[in-house]
Amino acid sequence: MTPYRTAVVVIWGLTAPAALLLACRHASHASVPDDADMAQLAQVSAEPVPPQLLYLPDGGDQAIGNSFQPAPNAEVAIPSAALNPGRRCPPEMVDVRGQFCIDRWEDTLVDAKSGRELSPYYSPVGDRARKARDFWQNERANMGSAKARTLELPDLGDWQLKGHIEPMAVSKPGHIPSGYVDGNSAEKACERAGKRLCQSEEWITACRGEKAQLFPYGDHYEQGACNVFRESHPAVILHGDASIGHLDPRLNRVEGPEGPLLRSTGASSRCASNWGQDAVYDMVGNLDEWVEDSYGAFQGGFYARATRSGCDARITAHPKAYADYSLGVRCCK
């Protein structure tokens, strides 16, 4: 389980701008700034000031939604380039400079043997999924507001818990991408699809598009263009604290004032990294995505991370065995 930590910290020896910048950043568990944010922080002068007690802001508008209903698959247009029979990449992948292929959309995990979709709201590892379901079925009655406690857990099919499941990554438009994915499972899921995890440099190149921009849509941050830095944090809404309960299967079903926090693949139409007549979607925000790194790394940010680092957003604080609601996968070839 994710360690329980307070969302209140004392920051010593920072100027007011430095303290504010640190307080406004959070990673998949609220208190870890991404590597690009740390570089920004290092540029702020360190003139000593008295210690300050600061709350790490992660949203928290109390919009929860109704009891659980499976999210419908959205209608998302498929680029005409994907239908070209002469292309070198598979139809669900984008050709980047003729050097490598990358999945057009964040991946949904399916069982490689049966083709059945795994629930995107649980770990693809059966024992972990079972433990999360059993724990949160009881614990949800003890945490958060009265309204939060009424939000039901997503269904977890018995078939996903029985037998030998082999998760495989599938890139589809208009689907809820799989969260709760650890780095080892992400790597194996890509391999079962005849692909691999992207190298960090490949991932950044694909994200920046053919114009090599900091964001998929341009060089300057635009709030709402990608599904990142959202108005709410799901753990604040469900648990009253952004730093706890990150394996709760309900987190990616939470809605904020502006709608569902996690969106279906391709729903953020402006968040498109263009390559010729084709594009890669949601490389900034929605879910963080594992990349190839022996120590563990993921990139891009997720919907509730307070980052404006765009394609440079990267977290290296967790090993490959780590998983939480904010982590997904996208493959290269």
pLDDT tens track for 3-51: 333 333 222 233 333 333 333 333 344 445 565 544 443 443 333 333 3
pLDDT given at position 75: 62
Q: What is the pLDDT of residue 320?
A: 97
- Residue 325's domain spans which residues? 61-332
Q: What is the pLDDT of residues 145-195, one digit of tens each?
A: 999 999 999 999 999 998 789 999 999 999 999 999 999 999 999 999 999
Residue 202 falls within a domain, yes or no? yes
In a domain, 25, yes or no: no
**Average pLDDT of the segment spanning 296-308:** 97
pLDDT at residue 73 greater than cutoff 70? no
Continuous H helices in the chain: 16-23, 35-42, 126-139, 146-149, 183-192, 200-208, 234-239
Q: Between these two residues, 142 and 49, which has the higher pLDDT value?
A: 142
**What local confidence, expressed as pLDDT, does residue 87 receive?**
78
Span of 57-71, 270-284, 290-304, 313-327 with lowest mean pLDDT: 57-71
d(Cα 81, Cα 88) in Å, to the nearest integer? 11
> Does any domain span residue 42?
no
Taking residues 69-81, what's their average pLDDT? 58
Rounding to the nearest 10 degrees, give the CA dihedral for residues 7, 9, 14, 15.
60
Residue 118 lies in a domain: yes
Please write the tens of the pLDDT for every residue from 116-136: 999 999 999 999 999 999 999
Q: Is the pLDDT of residue 59 over 50?
A: no
> What's the confidence (pLDDT) of residue 244?
96
Mean pLDDT of the 69-79 span: 56
Is residue 286 predicted with pLDDT exceeding 70?
yes
Position 224 in a domain: yes
Q: Where are the beta strands (DSSP E) in 143-195?
A: 167-171
| % of the chain surpassing 70 pLDDT | 75
pLDDT for residue 239 is more than 80: yes
Total structural domains in the chain? 1
Could you tell me the two tokens for 192? Answer: 């079962």
Would residue 93 count as lying in a domain? yes
Tens digits of residue pLDDT in 224-234: 999 999 999 99
Identify whether 268 is part of a domain.
yes
Q: Among residues of the chain, what percentage have pLDDT more than 90?
A: 73
Determine, yes or no, domain membership for 56: no
- The residues near 118 (Cβ < 8 Å, ≥ 6 apart) are 108, 109, 110, 111, 124, 160, 165, 167, 178
